[in-house]
Structure 1
Amino acid sequence: MAAASTAAGVTAFHSYSPQEQQSQAQQSTDPPQLSKKPKTTLHKNPLYNPVHSKLSHQIKEKILCLEVMGVDSGKALSSNPSIHSTPLDSIHNIITFLQSKGILQKDLPRIIGMCPSILTANINHQLIPVFNFLSRDLNIPDHNYRRVINKCPRLLVSSVEDQLKPALFYLKRLGFRDLGALAYQDCVLLVSNVENTLMPKLDYLISLGFSKPEAVEMVLRCPGLFTFSLDNNFKPKFEYFEKEMKRDVSELKDFPQYFAFSLEKRIKPRHLEALECGVEISLPFLLKTTDEEFAELLRK
């Protein structure tokens, strides 16, 4: 399977003759022949308007290769202008390297789509250190690299020394001991800035009246708390909890997952239904139960 994927990658980056380039360029105007994905936004790229006819063969070949891989070339070129000047062989080496680490051809559209800067990364100084970090610091075996990278492609464009190691050190200091859970479930925490993202979330929980040990216990039980927005998640949900639901803050200590539920689609509707029925239900039963189970609780 890996060999097939590598072959596909090499085919996608085949060097075309001028005649082949013209033929392939003509085919690229017909989306069904290249990809089943929606029409690219390439026509909106400044590169194409109004000087598209002056594009070099190399740029056209890069565009074709990206589209053949299933990557939105317009978005990739707009998000990472360095692709314009990066040699095609260099991009090919990136793809080959990722495939050597177990990344499959079918994974590339999503990975590159989320992080186009991967295509111009330095293999020795940027990518290899990331895989060394996964192996040495998180104890991830080689055959599981793909699982982790697919979970969080941003790992590939994160500095090991400036971001990944500091985040891991901070999380371990808080009490995150399960490296497997960090790698396979909560690896987004590793690409989070400690001072600007992680610490403010913990400080906010403490500001609600929890002690630091209590706040730490909450994020250990629900690591997703570190990923929620203060303004769009924490603050409106706590305001509703305090002013409308009029519940004791201690319930949040026992059920921090409250912040993971949608305010408009879950919390408010369930609370109003229970209020209308005159029934008081604990937070876990109020929010975690299925619609059928919740309806049964109200009937009882």
Structure 2
Amino acid sequence: MNDQPSYSAPALEKGLDILELLAVEGTALTTRQVGERLGRSKNEIFRMVHVLIQRGYIARAPDGEGLTLTNRLFALGMQTARMRDLIAVAGPVIERLADEIRQSVHLVVANRGETVVIGAASGGSEMTFSLKLGYRRPLVDAHSGLLLMAYQVPEVRQRMIEESIAVCQSEIDRAALENELNLLRREGSIINESRDIIGVTDIAAPIVLGNEEAIACIIVAYLNRKKTTPDYDFARGKLVDACSEIARRMEEFRPPLHAAQSPTEN
């Protein structure tokens, strides 16, 4: 039996190979290095690289010595119906949450081994700590990233771990990480000192749909101040409620496919 695909598009496959390679490598590669890793000559991929640069999918590194992925693919992903629905539904909820707890709130998704901030609300306090939209951090080095990985099926979780390790390029104790993710899935949320900013406590919880998989995470950057007693439990309670509300509205916003396609009873 012939297992070869019925149709082939060599040029398209070549372009996809280049994009996938740069995504996995996580660092800039020269055209020659790309060719070597793909088993192709520099001349074979030269025109495809040029087209991908023209279309904005890859760019030359600042030093001009290599090629890197741009945010073009991520931007396209953000235009999908699911992402538009998420932003539309979550926006008002995180604004209200920020006002209620008087702290900054961030909506985070996973992309190519990293967390990405896609929404933010500053809260009602005269002083808060906020991250810029588009801020990225390796999944394995972010509380929101750990929660996003914890609430995935095993195959997806493993892929996310691999992508994140490639991005941060550091040694990870896989067994310890798996134990931590399993514990987080049981606990359902995080209250812990920020992994990056002194004086900030991260309070995070996932937005989990009916399939028990997280589509996003909300993280509160709780700013600790000398003359104010922090109330982390209050903030976490409000946060968990907000995540549940967003998940419920997302399910209503876009009903399951099988329900939409069920036959009409006579």
Q: TM-score range by the shorter chain?
A: under 0.3
Looking at secondary structure, tell me which structure has more helix per residue.
1
Q: TM-score, normalised by structure 2?
A: 0.28
Looking at secondary structure, tell me which structure has more strand per residue.
2
Q: TM-score, normalised by structure 1?
A: 0.25
Higher relative contact order (CA 8 A, sep 6+): 2
Larger radius of gyration: 1
